[in-house]
Amino acid sequence: MGPRFRQDDHLISSLLDLANLRFARVVTEAASPPLSLPLKDGIDELKSLQSAFQIFSDQHSLADSFAVLGLGGFWNPALKSKLYGYLNGLSQELFAMNGTNTGEAGDRGISTALRQNLESDIPYPVYFTTHKLDDDPRVLASIGKPLVYMDDDHLTISFPMTPWSGRAALLPQTSGASGQP
């Protein structure tokens, strides 16, 4: 992912945050009024949208599905284009669910996992993250707790990434902790 994003690689986390918010489960405090189903927020809204529009299906590319949901960001058209190009490029990678290859390409595997999750009675919230491509070039998905402070299970989808080595050449050269050249 890094080389495709090049100088925008520091913005990848904001795109993941956007997706994580979109696929989150709504939780209210005890003092809040009880929520009634169907919720029109987070994963429950996506469940309704999937049912009505089949957003994640074989008829749509993963990039198009993300675009329909506004997951490319709105503030940087070049970054959005890079994200959609990256998602399309996942067709060259394998997809693994719970450590086992599914036989699907990365982009199709993500669409399948999201579709199956959204079609379940109570879908898992989804957490998007990254891992180093050198450690595993596959797109990795699993069910579990993505972060130590989250107690509920999620469908976690991890994108393989590699750093952009050209970034260092663009940064100011410093010597020592003072930051002085």
For the stretch 36-66, pLDDT in tens is 655 567 898 999 999 999 999 999 999 999 9
Q: Give residue-wise pLDDT tens across range 86-145.
A: 999 999 999 999 999 999 999 999 999 999 999 999 999 999 999 999 999 999 999 999
> Which distant-in-sequence residues (6+ apart) come within 8 Å of 8 by Cβ?
76, 78, 79, 82
pTM of the model: 0.84
**How far is 91 from 156, CA to CA, in rounded Å?**
19
